[in-house]
Amino acid sequence: MRKVHPEFAYQSRELEGQIEGILGDPPDRQNYQRMVDALVGEYAQGGGIEDVNMLAFALVDHIEFSNPKGLLAEAEDYEFGDAARVFAMAECKGEEAGKMYAAIAESMPDLARQAIITAFLHKNPRKWDDDDQSLDQLSANDDGDDIDDEDAASDDFAQMFDRDGE
């Protein structure tokens, strides 16, 4: 298990939610496929929404990864990384998806790097470890000593209204 940057973990969870939201309950695969096809078409033409999650959504069903260890290493830093190196670790199958992959490499390489890694993490959840950000985990070592008594006024504040100057 390898730790990934918290933003990649967040984006991966968001991608899962987005996929579930588009599929719906009961799952509507035709609606889902229309959405994916529309996004792939937009990105293949050099357009599309410049959003990590939307781009990862367009990639996730078409992308194949050739270097999982390298992608995990790249997932440690969200902001900075070698986009060309990440592009070399994956490819998209299919004519339209291949066009999209080439177009995003040209027009938005840094964003595409983040989307490729997000799609990888989504498809390979057992290869990485997500920090537990639940309230139970966040409060595990909290002994409550940082809670100030909000009803008590500080001496400085009280002296501002002291008319006798005491």
Chain segment 103-146, per-residue pLDDT in tens: 999 999 999 999 999 999 999 887 777 665 545 554 555 666 55
Domain range list for the chain: 2-134
Give burial (CB, 10 Å; 0-12/13-18/19+) of 9.
buried
Cα 133 to Cα 30: distance, rounded to the nearest angstrom: 35
pLDDT recorded at residue 37? 94
How many CB atoms within 10 Å of residue 8?
23
Cα 39 to Cα 118: distance, rounded to the nearest angstrom: 16
pLDDT averaged per 10 residues in sequence order, the chain, 166 residues: 85 92 86 93 90 93 93 90 94 93 94 95 81 54 58 64 63
pLDDT recorded at residue 128? 77
Is pTM beyond 0.85 here?
Answer: no
